[in-house]
Amino acid sequence: MADCELCTLAKPTLIPIKVQVHTLANPEGAYKGVCEDCLNSLNTAYELHFGKKEPAK
């Protein structure tokens, strides 16, 4: 069991996403674990702010 980085609920499986972290130890970013509910919320917020992302051709 691990804790989701956003909602802090303990879930058996988390989805790793790469995020920008501004530290000397992780100059290219780090992976954070989020649950499926938080991932859906992150995707919805992204689409509202930036618009739908079209697949690359």
Instruction: Give the pLDDT confidence score for residue 25 in this predicted structure.
Output: 87
**Average pLDDT per block of 10 residues along the chain, 57 residues long:** 92 92 86 94 92 79
What is the Cα–Cα distance from 38 to 19, expressed in whole angstroms? 14
Instruction: Give the pLDDT confidence score for residue 28 in this predicted structure.
Output: 87
Instruction: Give the pLDDT confidence score for residue 1 in this predicted structure.
Output: 86
For residue 22, the Cα-to-chain-centroid distance in whole angstroms is 16
